[in-house]
Amino acid sequence: MDAKTLFDDRLPKIISEDPQKAKEVNAIYVFNVTGDGGGTWTIDLKSDAPGVSQGDTGSADCTIELSNEDLGKIIEDPGAGMQLFFEGKLKVDGDPMLATKMQEVLKLGN
C-alpha cells in the first residue's frame, strides 16, 4: 500500500468507522512522505469531525517525515517504525510520543 492509498482512502475510512476512538488520540499529525506516490497530509484527531486532508495546515502536534517505501514497511509491520527512527529514515518533529500513538489509529480498522 502506498501513501496515497493510505491517506486518501484507508485512513479516512478507518477514522469514519470509529471517530470517537480516533479522537482519543487527541493529536494533529502531518505526514511528509517523500518519493514516488508521496505527498503531505494532515491527520486531525482533535476536531469534532476527525479526518485527513491533503497538505500541511500548520497546526501539527507531531510531524513525521519518511519515504513512501518506508511507510509501506510500517503499514506491514508497525514495529518497524522504531527501527526506521533509529536508522534516521523516519524523522519526527514535535512530540515523539505522539508518533507511537499513530499506530493505534492504524490498528482501528483491524
Q: What is the per-residue pLDDT across 4-63, written as a single tens digit (0 to 9) for each?
A: 999 999 999 999 998 998 899 999 999 999 999 899 999 999 999 999 999 998 999 999
**Fold for the domain defined by 3-101:** Nonspecific Lipid-transfer Protein; Chain A (3.30.1050)
Q: Quickly tell me which residue has 492509498 as its cell.
A: 5
User: Would the pLDDT of 110 be above 60?
Assistant: no
Q: Which three cell numbers stand for residue 78?
A: 508497525
Give the pLDDT confidence score for residue 61 in this predicted structure: 96
In angstroms and rounded to an integer, the radius of gyration of the C-alpha atoms of the chain is 13
User: Would the pLDDT of 79 be above 70?
Assistant: yes
The domain spans of the chain are: 3-101
Q: Which of 15-19, 77-81, 102-106 has the lowest mean pLDDT?
A: 102-106
**Which strands, in side-by-side order, build the sheet including 39-44?**
51-54, 39-44, 28-34, 62-67, 91-94
Q: Quickly tell me which residue has 482533535 as its cell.
A: 46
